[in-house]
Structure 1
């Protein structure tokens, strides 16, 4: 898609006439996108999507009748691959609605300002979100331009993946919360291997994110703190303002936090988590990389493989962005490329038996 060629299309779903007009104006003014439609509610959006396809759905949450959160699963199905960007006044950092939307499959969120503040920063942020969702940044665009993607390791190749693993570490970014939901809900209540999660989110999201994961997985989940012990049957998530590393202790392993710069530039980063579990657990480490933009996790994945552990990544088709998992699959470090549901089954079926 070249500059001035608005071949990426957007459907706006918002009950406010003024908001629809302002969002449309910001999108059209970019010269890079076309507004295919602007409708006032979810039923109208579903009718529109039965007849037309779009690249992105911009969705408000608070609407009369069927709310955006209630309609979200149906819109994802009806969208046939369209990415959903939540633009709502209740989509602030740490808001329960934000995490719920991401868990249900929304690709990203943006706070909708007061009517008088639509110009300026909001318009720039909106266009930036759209750019990222359709992979216009150089890194993802480079991957999209690969003419013939390399073959993905088949599910059958996962027969021995993670055999005897004693820790699971999961890295994710854009689109990763929904994938995490699918992975974790596939685990039985008897599953006792500890799970570490590094998800690219601001620190203000983390308390609710941990609560959401606990509900998804049916097991305790904590936001990591320094010196926290790693216990069987629990989930620990990295805080939004520090990397999570694992260190060996006299009777097991514990968490250490630090803010050292990393090559990916991410905070928190998947790479320190992966590198540290490779050091402590070696061949008993299982790393998983879900949907996300960029290459965070690639360096750590290489370390896990070098120490005899296994790496499994999400497949291209189910990923919102196949940057993080795709970079590992293309490097040859992935033992298997699978859907989130298949990853959950693999973890459950090949859990370490003490």
Structure 2
């Protein structure tokens, strides 16, 4: 599919129990986003019947519907969609809502809150168009083979993971693939507003069966720790005696404009841990993590990127892979296996 939707006319399925919402979304999708609405149905059952016979590029899914709730039906919708990206459009997907994190963990590509008290119809239409364009685009083919490079056993002391759009589901798959015996510290920067972070940390704890904390200034990094970046600060590391390191929160603007950003995490961790760092770049739009991955490789560390097929948006991992900075390019589950194998931990 071309990156220009005006010529490609990406096909969209709308799933919403409100006839008014279906009509409004249809108009917005076809006018503001220049897409084609293949069908608009009132429930999960109708969506599954349509997807059994037809294909679309993007599915707009409401959550609060009679019969099967959107979150309950989401896994079936994703399976039936056969590669279609699911954008949850619901009043239940407001900032900080637990439903948002659950939807993303289940595999939704992105979420968008419906117009209401704090969201105008105009701003909603503009944001909807932007999200549809991004989700329907296909990244350019990778310039280097997307395969794992042979590597000898290489021990490390910490895993740093960066992700954005599509990253929560990928992270879930990665963490669930790690064996219970893997206890090295994991530090995660996921592009999310601060209000989402407590729910995100809870989701990570559920996926791993380990306690997950929001990173705080001056925390000493140690085994059994899983830390997530707060939504309003970059997580960086400073060295301590005997090869240890501590967290420092940094709010300085970065070139890529993200807060939090993956680049300062990777760069500072590379400076502290050198070859003892394993950095992972998961699904996300843009190039955040690219500069940091270059620093990791220069310091002797290991970089692993998510593959194109499993990524919702292959911007971040694709930039790293295309530049030859990745030691391996794998699915999220295979990245978990790779981490365990490189660290000599049995599954």
| Aligned equivalents of 1:68, 1:209: Cα separation in 2 | 19
Q: Determine if the alignment matches structure 1 residue 324 to structure 2 residue 316.
A: yes
CA contact (8 A) 2:202 2:212 kept: yes
Conserved 8 A contact 2:13-2:59: yes
Which of 145, 148, 151 is matched with 1:152 structurally? 145
Moved more, 104-113 or 23-32: 23-32
For the pair 1:310 / 2:302, whether they are aligned, the reply is yes
Residues in 2 aligned to 1:332 and 1:64: alpha-carbon distance in whole angstroms: 49
Query: For residue 79 of structure 2, what is the aligned residue in structure 1?
Result: 77
Structure 1 partner of 2:257 = 265
- Cα deviation code 1:63-108 (max 9, x no counterpart): 1111111111111111111100000011011111100000011010
Per-residue deviation, residues 124-164 of structure 1 (Å, max 9, x unmatched): 121121122123xxxxx7x52x5xx3242423x25437x11
**Deviation string for 1:304-335 (max 9, x for gaps)?**
00010010000000000110000000001100
TM-score w.r.t. the length of structure 1 is: 0.92
In 2 relative to 1, CA 16–305 (structure 1 residues): closer, same or farther, beyond 3 Å?
same
Partner of 2:175: 184
The 1:117–1:268 alpha-carbon spacing in structure 2 relative to 1, beyond 3 Å, is closer
5+ unaligned residues in a row in structure 2: which ranges?
A: none
Among 115, 120, 123, which residue is 2:122 paired with? 120
CA displacement at 1:38 relative to structure 2: 0.2
Conservation of the 8 A alpha-carbon contact between 1:18 and 1:115: no
Does the residue aligned with 1:94 lie in a helix, a strand or coil? coil
Q: Which residue of 1 aligns with 2:187?
A: 196
| Alpha-carbon displacement from aligned partner over 1:156-214 (angstroms, at most 9, x marks no partner) | x25437x1111000000000000000000112222111000000000110011001101
Match of 1:345 among 337, 341, 344: 337
Distance 1:5 1:60 in 2: 27
Aligned pairs for 1:228-239 (under 5 A) are 228-239=219-230
Match of 2:209 among 201, 212, 218: 218
- Among 96, 107, 112, the alignment partner of 1:110 is 112
- In structure 2, relative to structure 1, the CA distance for the partners of 1:121 and 1:231 (3 Å cut) is same
1:231-250 maps to which residues of 2 (within 5 A)? Answer: 231-250=222-241
Partners of 2:120 and 2:206 lie apart in 1 by 36
Counterpart in 2 of 1:39? 41
Is residue 91 of structure 1 aligned with residue 106 of structure 2? no
Q: 1:158 to 1:344 in 2, by over 3 A?
A: farther
Deviation at 1:117, TM superposition (A): 7.1
Deviation per residue, 1:227-251 (Å, 9 max, x gap): 1121211110111111100111236
Aligned to 1:138: none
Q: Could you tell me whether the CA contact under 8 Å between 2:280 and 2:303 is conserved in 1?
A: yes
Cα pair 1:107 1:174 within 8 Å, conserved: yes
d(CA) in 1 for partners of 2:35 and 2:277? 44
CA contact (8 A) 2:15 2:47 kept: yes
Deviation at 1:118, TM superposition (A): 6.6
SS in 2 for 1:311: strand
Q: Which moved more, 1:248-257 or 1:90-99?
A: 248-257
Question: How far apart in 2 are the matches of 1:83 and 1:184?
Answer: 22
- Return the offset for 1:3: 6.6
Equivalent residue number for residue 288 of structure 2:
296
Looking at structure 2, the residues matched to 171 and 113 of structure 1 have their Cα atoms a distance apart, in angstroms, of 31
CA distance in 2, matches of 1:260, 1:18: 44
Distance (whole Å) between structure 2 residues aligned to residue 4 and residue 330 of structure 1? 27
TM-score (norm 2): 0.94
Q: What residue ranges of structure 1 are gaps of 5+ in the alignment?
A: 136-140
